[in-house]
Structures are given as structure tokens and as C-alpha cells.
Chains A and B, each alone.
Chain A
């Protein structure tokens, strides 16, 4: 087990390194280079640009810049914002909790609803419920999230006035209820796509499991149906589902960006957009890395959970 953990951890670190290299290359391949904000600005003189270059260490060869930047990222020195000069680490980490709250709540909601729908669909396959939820899922997956969010705001915030139109908390501060009210719409909008995906994943996973021999054996023992379904069926279906959850993380992070846009939710996504408009590279890079880090960490955790649940993996069997 320890060997498995160590090898997975090593893989993750290598992946993170690869991600950092690719990310760094992207930054420097972009037209205008890292100083696009300045070089594309006609009022900035060539001398100023030279000065800025030296100041930010951009006159040095690419690989040295990479090493400096990468080692900085690893040790907590994420550089300074091009647009204001504050510590990038502070700016970014400040926004992470909000994004995590949004992602976490949406995922939790989606899991509960989606997995249940999936199980029922699998058990009552080819029923009206099954068809209806399949079609509904497809439609939900086809809705542009940002558009759905706008519609939701229009209906629930502007027309009906039940919920706030955006932000995380009312101006002037608010209590627990206020925060929940602000959380509802973004979470529901983000969760819609997730529910659709999870119900489909669960359904196909359960269908495969229900066909397996050990389910028939479980039935033949005369134990209760619910026990057969959950203890035998879901337990086996969980393994591929957890792996899928890990693979779905990039979509979750991307979806959070969209939701934050529409609801003015003060998270990493919104920060990314404002940094984009000012070409604030250090911030952009840091957010990209944090996003990738979350994905890699999530996949690692998923693999560990699978190793715990499935005894065949722990001992190195296939």
C-alpha cells in the first residue's frame, strides 16, 4: 500500500512539473509577451519597457526565468502583480475559499441528487422515469451554463425577488442566512450540469454492475433488496465513479469560472477575468497553476479512495 501511495505521489509531482512547464511556455508564446500590457501601449517608451524588463527579470534567458518562477511557486513566493504590485499569493489565496465553497457545495448537491437518479434509473431501466431523466440530462448538459444563470437571475432575482442577483454576501455584511441566500442560485446553476453528468455515469456504472454474477449470488442468498443494491451493487459501482469524479474536476473548475462570471461571485474565476483584462501575467499564471493543482490533487485523492475501497488494487492485482 505504501509503495502504491509513493508511486502515485511521485507521478503527481511529475505531472505538476509538466503542467508548470507547459503553462510557462504558454505565457511566453503569447503575442506581445509577458509585457503585452506595456509593449502594446503606444504611450510607453522603449526605455521604460527595458527598465520594466530588468525589474521583472524578463531580460534573462527563458529557462532561467522558468527556474526562478517555478522555484518561487514551490516555495510560496508567487511574485508580484503587474497591476498594483501586491503579493500574488495573497491576492489569489484570498479568493480560493470562495471558489472552493461554490465547487464543494455544487458537487455535494450534485452527488446526492445525481447518484440517486442514476441508481433509480438503472434499477428501473427502460421505465418512463429512465427515459425522462435521460432526456432531461441531455438537455441539461446542452444548456449554456452562463445563459441558464442569466435566466435564473432574471426569474428569481429580478422578477420574483426571492434571491439576490449576485455576490457572496449583501453589502454591509450579512448573517448566515444571507450567505445561504447568495449561495443558492450559483450552486444550483453550477450543479445542474453536474447532476446530469452524475446521473448518467451512475446509471451506466450500475447497469454494468447489475449484470455481474455476484449480484445474482447476492439475490440468491435471500438478503434484503436494499442491501443487495447498496452493499453489493453501489459498493462495486463506487470505484469507477470515484475515478470519474477525479476526471471531471477540470470541468468543475471551468464551470465554477462560468458561474462566478454570471453571479459576480468573488472567487478565483472572477479574479482570472479581471487579471485577463489587464494582462496581469503573474496572477494569471498563479491561478492556472492553482487550478491544475486542484485537479491533480483531486485525482490523487480519487486514486487513494479507490485503493482503500477495492482490495484488488491495494495488493497490486488488476
Chain B
């Protein structure tokens, strides 16, 4: 047998490689799900699972180093247990991420679907609006709005949602446009299927998968944005903790106790990367055309 492998010039899909890749991706996505489950359970179950009370001060023990003594991840400048604070902060950061994602989906889907269905000047106007919003760097917009609004969980979610819906709107718009003129839709109409049935059975499922993928990735992005805004002081305000505002004093903390700045960042990275890997896995799993990407 002679090996005939060349580095460029693919032909028929080698079944073995794509299955391996899929499995690999799936394993990553599964791992991501597990990590997310741990984070969610840790945050939601904080009142029962956390080792200490989040407000409990232990001034004598401030800036305790992690992995030594009773406080697994150490204590902060007021002697509060870091792990406990991380768990409670997770409630806020994760909630904002998910809530913001829901806002983006609702707004994005509505605008995209509306524009695609009533194509004509309304549709064009809505899509132009989407284009305009896309020209603003979202961080700028978000900061601008956040500075003038009293920050709270709901307001943060709303604001992030209002600045990140555009991508979903575009996806939904183009998907529905394509589907509207697709052959199988025409076939359904010819057979006599009523509009609502077509929308429910044919259009919705086909738009759902790219939206699902985008929503997952949006959650990741929302968590990142919240952490940045809170870090700057325009987001969640202390004493309420979010992973972002736990980092606010990070710069000065580095002198005294660098660990304080490390753990919230790791928490953010874990959450965001889990959503990213999950979204990537979903994209592969839901796209029938992917061979061995």
C-alpha cells in the first residue's frame, strides 16, 4: 500500500476525520456544559453551599492567602471570604448575562422577522437602523447609557441587550428572506398548508438553530461586557458583588494581594469560555452541511 497524502487538494470527505473532530467538539461542548452547571449551581446555591457569610468581616484575617487555612481562596481587604463572594457575585454576573441574552433575542428576532416579513420600506428602514446601530462600538454606547442610568441588575441587562441585538436581527432577517423564497416553502403552500402552519413548522425551526448559536455566544459577550462596565464602576455597585466589580480595586490590589485580582478573572473566563465552547459545539451539531470543519 502506498500513502498518498497531499497537503492541499481535498476530494471526498474522509469519514474518519470528521467523526473524530465532531466527537472532539462534542467532548469540549460537554465539558463546557459541566463547567457551566458547576458555576450555575455554585451561584444559585450560594446561600446553602457557600462556606461563609458574604458580609462576614474578619479584619484580623484580611488579605489571607489562598490555599492556606480556612478560607480556600483567601480573603479580601475587609476580611470577607473570596470564594463566598465569588459565588454570590456569580448570581449577578450570570443572571445579567442570561437576561441580556434574552433581551437581545426578543428584540433581534422581532426586528429581523418583522423586517423580513413586511419587506418594503418598513423592512428597509428597520435594517438601516440595524446598520446604524452596528456602527457604534458597543462598549462606547453601553458606557454612555450606563453612566446616566442607575445601575441595577435589570437596568444592566436591558442596556446590554439594547446594544447587542443587531447580530441576531441580521441573522433572522436573512434566514427568513431565504426561506420565504425557498422551494420547500412553495411546496408547502402548493399543498395547501395555511400560513401559520408554515411559519410554525417550517420557518421557525430553520431560524432557530442559528439564533440559538448566536444567543449562546451573546451570553458570553454579555458577561464580558457586564464585567467591564462594573469594573469601571458604572455597573453593579458595591456592596452588591459581581465578578466585574470585584476587580475594580485590582490595580491597587496587585501591590498588596494579587490573588484578589486573579480569581474573579478566572471565574469570568470560565463562564465566558464555557458559553463560547458550547455555542461552537451547537453550531457544529446543528449544521447538517458541516463535513469536517
Contacts and interface: CB of A to CB of B under 8 A. Distances in A.
A288 B293 contact: no
B132 A18 contact: yes
Given A126-B20, A219-B9, A284-B144, A138 B277 contact: yes
B140 A19 contact: no
Interface stretch (B80-88, B115-123, B220-228): B220-228
Interface in A242-291: 247, 250-251, 253-254, 257-258, 261, 272-273, 276-277, 279, 284, 287-288, 291
Given A15-B132, A32-B148, A142-B272, A250 B137 contact: yes
A215 B11 CA distance: 11
Interface string B238-267: 000000000100110011001001101100
Residue among A142, A247, A287 with the highest chain B CB neighbour number at 10 A: A142
A177 interface: no
A238 interface: no
Contacts of B255: 158
A138 B272 CA distance: 10
Main secondary structure of the interface of B (DSSP, over half): helix
B144 A288 contact: yes
A94 to B, nearest CB: 18
A169 interface: no
Given A15-B132, A150-B254, A31 B149 contact: yes
A146 B148 CA distance: 23
Contacts of A288: 136, 140-141, 144
Interface string A79-114: 000000000000000000000000000000000000
B231 to A, nearest CB: 6
Given A257-B140, A291-B140, A139 B269 contact: yes
Contacts of A138: 273, 276-277, 280
Interface in B1-45: 6-11, 17, 20-21, 24, 28
A228 B148 contact: no
Contact of B227 (A131, A144, A292): A144
Contact of A26 (B21, B139, B145, B232): B145
Contacts of A254: 137-140
A124 interface: yes
B147 A144 contact: no
Q: Assign chain B's interface to a size class.
A: 35 or more
Contacts of A15: 128, 131-132, 135
A210 B291 CA distance: 13
B136 A291 contact: yes
A84 B227 CA distance: 32
A141 B148 CA distance: 29
A291 B135 CA distance: 8
A288 B132 CA distance: 12
A22 interface: yes
A258 B132 contact: no
Contact of B140 (A158, A219, A253): A253
Interface string A117-152: 000000111100001000100110111111110110
Given A126-B20, A139-B273, A150 B137 contact: no
Contacts of A261: 232
A216 interface: yes
A19 B132 contact: yes
Nearest to A295: B135
B275 to A, nearest CB: 8
Given A144-B224, A150-B254, A250-B137, A279 B147 contact: yes
B273 A142 contact: yes
Given A123-B8, A147-B264, A276-B143, 7 more contacts: A146-B228, A147-B247, A147-B250, A153-B254, A250-B138, A251-B137, A288-B141
25 contacts: A18-B128, A18-B129, A26-B144, A30-B148, A138-B273, A141-B276, A142-B224, A142-B269, A142-B272, A142-B273, A153-B254, A158-B255, A215-B8, A219-B8, A225-B7, A250-B137, A254-B138, A258-B139, A261-B232, A272-B140, A276-B144, A284-B144, A288-B141, A291-B137, A295-B135
